[in-house]
A and B are shown apart, each in its own frame.
Chain A
């Protein structure tokens, strides 16, 4: 079964780039499916950030599109999130997620990693 584990810095300075990686186990990322990121500000709800599909196509939340890049590293069996020009509003728990097909929901989720934007 697919398992996901996020990693990356827990503290990022304002205006810098947030970079996170999600290691995938139990499945070869080259074989298909789709991969994504969701975030949750402290005490608030879930916000979808974007997905990357087996084809390499990406979809992003419109309000984040200018700052977000999701990419796949097939050799490492992992995928990544980069969010540029961060502010305090980007402080959140970031979850990586998996979907079996373009018509399926997120399952499973990684455990999440808290990223704080502060100087």
Chain B
């Protein structure tokens, strides 16, 4: 199975700052089928980005995804208060889906 490693484990930032989250795969993700989810405390995860770089409808443009193969990035250009949450990457490129361990974006 493909192992996804996210870094850093925690990002301590202030509102208005930018955030860069990394997701590295142990082998190439087929067709760049890499998604990013946001999970706020007490809530279910919600899909933000799919296909490595496509935003879901209505997602603010401050969120962007990039990367291919084994290295992927989620960038939040200017953090809003509601963006402080845990972010997970997931690959769905083969029949065995896997998640990264998550990156927590916390208020500094």
Residues of B in contact with A, size category? 20 to 34
Stretch at the interface among A9-17, A18-26, A79-87, A100-108: A100-108
Contact A48 B98 (CB under 8 A): yes
Contact of B35 among A36, A45, A105 (CB under 8 A): A105
Q: Is B31 close to A, CB under 8 A?
A: yes
* B22 at interface, CB cutoff 8 A: no
Give the number of residue pairs across the A-B interface with Cβ within 8 Å: 58
A107 adjacent to B1 (CB under 8 Å): no
Docked pose: A47 CA to B97 CA in angstroms: 9
Indicate with 1 or 0, residue by residue over B21-46, a CB within 8 angstroms of chain A CB atoms.
Answer: 00000000001010101000000111
* A62: chain B residues within 8 A (beta carbon): 1, 96
Q: A residues 44-62 with Cβ under 8 Å of B?
A: 45-48, 51, 59, 61-62
Query: B90–A105 contact, CB under 8 A?
Result: yes
Interface residue count on the A side (C-beta < 8 Å)? 22
B45 touches A109 (CB 8 A): yes
Instruction: Point out the residues of chain B lying under 8 angstroms from A95, CB to CB.
Output: 44-45
Q: Determine the chain A residues whose CB is within 8 A of the CB of B47 once the complex forms.
A: 105-108
- Interface positions of A from 68 to 119, Cβ below 8 Å from B: 95, 99, 103-112
Docked Cα-Cα span, A110 to B33, in Å, equals: 22
Q: Is B44 in contact with A110, judged by CB distance below 8 angstroms? A: yes
B27 CB to nearest chain A CB (Å): 16
